[in-house]
Structure 1
Amino acid sequence: MQFTFLGTSAGKPTRERNVSALGLEFDQDTQWYLFDCGEGTQHQLLRSRLSVGKLSTIFITHMHGDHYYGLPGLLSSKKLDKAFNPLTIYGPIGIRQFIACVMKDISYEKLGYELTIIEYTPYDEYTFDKFTLKVLPLIHSVESHAFSIKENDTSNRLDEEKLRAKGVEPSPLFGELKRGKKIVVNGETISPESFMLEPHIGRKVIIAGDNAVPEIMGDYLEEIDLLVHECTYLQETYDHLPVKVQHTTAKDLGRCAQDHCVKNLIATHINPRYNANGRIGIEAVEKELARYYKGNLFIANDFDTYLLNRDGIIIPL
């Protein structure tokens, strides 16, 4: 599984970061998935290896502009790029009305491709070719959601070395074994169960939208392979805000990830005040997170790409 961060800023773009967008690719897949689509996402795509032509699905976490204002431009450019493959958007209630309003002069037929809009509610579940996805409710100033992703287990893996030792070379016979059928080679009957490897257990990932209380996801967090979560404030900054907002601090995120034995944590949605030229740099956020979380920790920058391998290890690319 590969994650490409196209926008990592909270609320507004900065010189260093654009607003929220994240691309997800699965092993041996020809399509990819976009999580949130802040303003300017199509510009970010031009600077990445991801293409609109292979984008199949967009998931929107909540109805705040920095998470979905990039949709109209991306939908229009998809047509101009002659990328006519179907596109599905999953979003909270209101996303259909937004797209209809903004694009009222462009009927779906005039887009030139099939556009499907699905408005989800908390705890809805969806099945895709490579994974299943469940919508989890979060705590924010508007309804916000996380997406709990469970990759499919891979169970039909043959022990090819053992088969070769039996004189069975790669051929359509492998397909028969994978389908659970016996084969006959040189007069000997070979049963599939004797040549199957242990299944690969699918990886578990949560990609969360804006959220004041990471703990609200509860047992869904337990020992997951990766949590991608906002980390908008340092605790000291938050404590001194004259008006409290419903976002997560580095302290709260670190504690929650540690308590639930999250294997890898990637923090995103960074407040613009933490920057290379400011009084407080991003290293302060990393330091506060590391004080409470002892697992593999990363703070995403725009265009950072991470590989989550089969062993559940994050490798920055």
Structure 2
Amino acid sequence: MQLTFLGTSAGKPTKERNVSALGLEFQQDDKWYLFDCGEATQHQIMRSRLSSGKLSTIFITHLHGDHYFGLPGLLSSKKLDTAFRPLSIYGPKGIKRFLECVLDVSFENLGYELKIIEFEADDLFVFDKFSLKVLALEHSVESFAFYIKENDITNKINEEKLRAIGMEPSALYGELQKGNTIVFRGEELHPEDFMLTPIEGRRVILAGDNVRPDILGEYLEGIDLLVHECTYTQADYDRLKVKVLHTTAKDLGETSQKRDVKNLIASHINPRYNKHASEGVEVIYNEIQQSYKGRLYIADDFDVYRLSRECVIEKL
């Protein structure tokens, strides 16, 4: 499982960071999935190893512009690139009206099938390699997280055990994988005797804007990877005259430690934390680390991370 961060800034683009977008890929797959699509996401895709032609599905966490204003340009360019693969977009109520208005006013004829699905909290969607549950967050507009559960691998054949009894790879392997009893050298072989222990699918939460990480409750417990916004340090948030509903580094660290989150990537960083300011992203990292003892990263644009089968995250 591989994640490519295409935009990691909160609210507006900066010279260092574009606004929210994240690509997700699975092993041995010919497509990828996009989570949020802030302005200029198509430019970020062109600068990455991802291809708009292989983009299968887009998920939008909420209807703030820095999370979906990049959709019209991306949809239009997909046509100009003659990338006519069907595309599905999942988003909160209102995303359908927005896209239909844009396409109507611009007289855009996409030339490919576009499906727009509006979801609600607790909706469950099943894809070929994973299931996705929509979880409600707390923000100034309806905002959601996506709980992704990779399919378990249950049909892995014990090839070593079969070779030990003299059976070389053949169509009989496939019959066992399908759950069928076979006959080999006059003896019945039952599938349950020649299958490896199932490999549990990885569990990931990709969250939109949210003031209270613990609202995710039991879904956080022992999660293999949490990708969550972290817009402010606690001190900077406390000094705001007008409070905005975003997560602080202190809250994110404490919640992740309490819920035994295995790997944590913080994103959606406020523009005030940059390389030319008195405080860079290290203040976010340090504040999270005061309470969180798991594997921690602060995402930058074009960072690529791999979550291994052993549920260890590494930056590539």
Same fold (TM over 0.5): yes
1:44 aligns with 2:38: no
* Aligned residue number for residue 76 of structure 2: 76
With normalisation by structure 1, the TM-score equals: 0.98
1:64 aligns with 2:53: no
3-state DSSP of counterpart to 1:49: coil
Instruction: Give 1:103 deviation, angstroms.
Output: 1.6
With normalisation by structure 2, the TM-score equals: 0.98
Counterparts of 1:123-162 in structure 2, within 5 Å, are 123-162=122-161
CA distance in 2, matches of 1:162, 1:145: 46
Residue type of the alignment partner of 1:77: S
- What do residues 62-94 of structure 1 show as CA deviations (whole Å, max 9, x unaligned)? 000000000000000000111111100000000
Counterparts of 1:265-276 in structure 2, within 5 Å, are 265-276=264-275
CA distance in 2, matches of 1:140, 1:205: 21
Give the share of equivalent positions with the same residue, in percent. Answer: 66
1:232 aligns with 2:231: yes
The count of aligned residue pairs is 316
The root-mean-square deviation of aligned C-alpha atoms, in Å, is: 1.0
Instruction: Give 1:107 deviation, angstroms.
Output: 6.2
* Aligned residue number for residue 311 of structure 1: 310
- What do residues 23-61 of structure 1 show as CA deviations (whole Å, max 9, x unaligned)? 001121111100000000000000111111111100000
Range 174-183 or range 32-41, more displaced? 174-183
CA distance in 2, matches of 1:93, 1:194: 49
CA distance in 2, matches of 1:218, 1:35: 22
1:200 aligns with 2:199: yes
Counterparts of 1:250-265 in structure 2, within 5 Å, are 250-265=249-264
CA distance in 2, matches of 1:99, 1:125: 23
* Aligned residue number for residue 166 of structure 1: 165
* Aligned residue number for residue 90 of structure 2: 90
Instruction: Give 1:188 deviation, angstroms.
Output: 2.7
3-state DSSP of counterpart to 1:111: coil
Counterparts of 1:214-229 in structure 2, within 5 Å, are 214-229=213-228
3-state DSSP of counterpart to 1:88: strand
Instruction: Give 1:106 deviation, angstroms.
Output: 5.4
Residue type of the alignment partner of 2:66: D
* Aligned residue number for residue 5 of structure 1: 5
Counterparts of 1:102-117 in structure 2, within 5 Å, are 102-105=102-105, 110-117=109-116
Instruction: Give 1:282 deviation, angstroms.
Output: 0.8
Q: Which runs of 5+ in 1 are unaligned?
A: none
CA distance in 2, matches of 1:37, 1:27: 23
Q: Which runs of 5+ in 2 are unaligned?
A: none
